[in-house]
Structure 1
Amino acid sequence: MRLRLGRNQPMSEAAPTRFEGDPPVADHPNDQAGHALRAPSALHAFNRYEIKYLVPSGKLPELRRELRARLDHDHNGADGGYGVWSVYYDTARLRFYWEKIEGLRFRRKLRIRHYGDRRTIGDGTTVYVEIKQRVNRVTQKRRIALPYARARALCDQRQMIEHLPGQTGFVNEVLGLVSGLDLRPTAATGYQREAYVGRNTDLGLRVTLDHRVRGRDRDFELAAEADNRLVIPASLSVLEFKANDRVPYWLTDLAAGMDLSIARVSKYCQSIEAFGAAPRSIFHIPDDPAEAPAPAATEKA
């Protein structure tokens, strides 16, 4: 199988418009760093255009030099960045996976996500329950912050949970999805994120580099001491440009000048395929450049 790439063809997805709500849920004592990675509110709704690339590790020094000359470090991303840990939900027949592979114009997925050190996660740790959906060429992301125990009660036990008034519609939507579609935890992913933000005329721009993208198909507690398998080769990082209106020309010119190609890559789909839960699609990134079968690397995250 080959990964289908198209050079400099605009792809739009989305992720952050903010709706301010009531005060945030209290932090777990060990979760100050993780929760500080995202400004809390009752409901976040994100709407952005996104373009993804795969970057060979040999090109990272040049890319970092160019980004640092025009952008600032995300204040949470200094000193090596931060971890991003997610548990994805799907049906027994992987409905959300196949909707992504088949490129449906309207599709959704549900996940629980934590930013920071997963070893600090406890029942009171703040996590995010997120619905990410694509409508035509725009991807939207909505989420609420909850203590981890309450997020699991909502998504795993399918219980109505205590929530803020502005969150009722979202909570009902999550309950409708997990109950109506019989969703269950299907894959976990984790990676180290390096983030940059725009300055001056590039305010609202965000650039992320995700390294050592791993996954697992069992032990779906976010803090589980489980082996995480590389689902994208360690020699590749996922680069994403995210903008409210359009990605600046200097960034797309930078990508073209470095001979980077736009990639249709989904960390969730990579995890599903890496563990043999579905046949590998044309978008799967092989472990071996020659696409020969090779044992996958395993490491403790």
Structure 2
Amino acid sequence: MEPIRKFNRFELKYLLTMEQTREFKQQLEAYMFPDQYAWNSGDYVISSLYYDSPDLQCYWEKIDGLKFRKKLRVRIYETEESITEDSIVFVEIKQRYDKTIQKRRIAIPYRDAMALCDEHRLPDEYDERDRPVMEEVLGMIEERNLQPTLITSYFRHAYTGTEFDNGLRVTFDSNIRYRVNDLDLASKQLGRYIVSPDRVILEIKVNERVPYWLTELIAQNNYRLIRISKYCTGLDVASEFPQRIEVY
């Protein structure tokens, strides 16, 4: 599958109970398709290695609410097979400009991602179309002195929009954990919970606008928007000072 190298979108987040999650999934099935890349259970596991500066510049940009901010991560969509140097991962620059999320990413083997992000060099072989993103990654690492900081992992249950709602994705993230030690994506070490294990983060992702039927469902269920970053909240929990989740 040809990787998408860049895209813009909007994201809305909500914090649900397990019962709310079960009910909302049933409601969505009338409007959306299950993610075709999910496991037989309907879920899959995402693990992400985040980079930050020694003074946590990316963290503080989020906490301070800067309208323009960006961060670097290496993400893998896990399978039942063990992660190896040949496993394909995504190196992503996730950038926010006001309310718009912008992503630039490349799909490369894990060994090449580590050569790029940890050894600060281009891989020996790569798709020339990936070079602009690789050079941006290297520039960001040099400018901010980025280093591996935290890994998050969680189960995701996702739905995609029909042809009438192109670009729409709704995801449910559960069993959300972090670790600040053993920062190797291939490790199976379980970290601590970022949010309570009986809570699920619902995310609505759209290219332009939320469909009317979905805004009606959100209103009927009385869900309230929250502002939460898995990366920032993981660092807060690691420091024993849980970040306050902002509810709208």
Of 266-275 and 193-202, the range deviating more from structure 2: 193-202
Q: For the aligned residues, what is the CA RMSD?
A: 1.7
Which secondary structure state, in structure 1, belongs to the residue aligned with residue 145 of structure 2? Answer: coil
Equivalent position to 1:73, from 34, 37, 47 = 34
For 1:102 and 1:198, locate their aligned partners in 2 and report how far apart those are by CA, in whole Å: 34
Q: Does 1:54 align with 2:15?
A: yes
Shift of 1:171: 0.8
Report the counterpart of residue 184 of structure 1 in structure 2: 147
For 1:49 and 1:271, locate their aligned partners in 2 and report how far apart those are by CA, in whole Å: 23
Which secondary structure state, in structure 1, belongs to the residue aligned with residue 29 of structure 2? Answer: helix
| TM-score w.r.t. length of structure 1 | 0.77
Equivalent position to 1:265, from 223, 228, 236 = 228
Which secondary structure state, in structure 2, belongs to the residue aligned with residue 120 of structure 1? Answer: coil
For 1:94 and 1:118, locate their aligned partners in 2 and report how far apart those are by CA, in whole Å: 33
1:59 maps to amino acid: Q
For 2:80 and 2:71, locate their aligned partners in 1 and report how far apart those are by CA, in whole Å: 22
Q: What is the count of residue pairs matched by the alignment?
A: 245
Q: Does 1:96 align with 2:51?
A: no
Shift of 1:283: 2.8
What do residues 174-196 of structure 1 show as CA deviations (whole Å, max 9, x unaligned)?
A: 11111221111111000111010
What do residues 254-287 of structure 1 show as CA deviations (whole Å, max 9, x unaligned)?
A: 122112110101111111111008x5443379xx
Equivalent position to 2:205, from 242, 246, 258 = 242
Report the counterpart of residue 289 of structure 1 in structure 2: none
The answer to whether the 8 A contact 2:13-2:203 is kept is yes
Normalized per residue, which structure has more strand?
A: 2
Of 88-97 and 175-184, the range deviating more from structure 2: 175-184
Q: Which ranges in structure 1 are unaligned for 5 or more consecutive residues?
A: 1-38, 286-301
Q: Which ranges in structure 2 are unaligned for 5 or more consecutive residues?
A: none
The answer to whether the 8 A contact 1:57-1:237 is kept is yes
| TM-score w.r.t. length of structure 2 | 0.93
Which secondary structure state, in structure 2, belongs to the residue aligned with residue 227 of structure 1? Answer: coil
For 1:100 and 1:119, locate their aligned partners in 2 and report how far apart those are by CA, in whole Å: 34
Q: Percent identity?
A: 40
Shift of 1:154: 0.5
Which secondary structure state, in structure 2, belongs to the residue aligned with residue 273 of structure 1? Answer: helix
What do residues 82-109 of structure 1 show as CA deviations (whole Å, max 9, x unaligned)?
A: 1001000000111000001111111000
Shift of 1:118: 7.2
For 2:246 and 2:56, locate their aligned partners in 1 and report how far apart those are by CA, in whole Å: 16
The answer to whether the 8 A contact 2:227-2:246 is kept is no
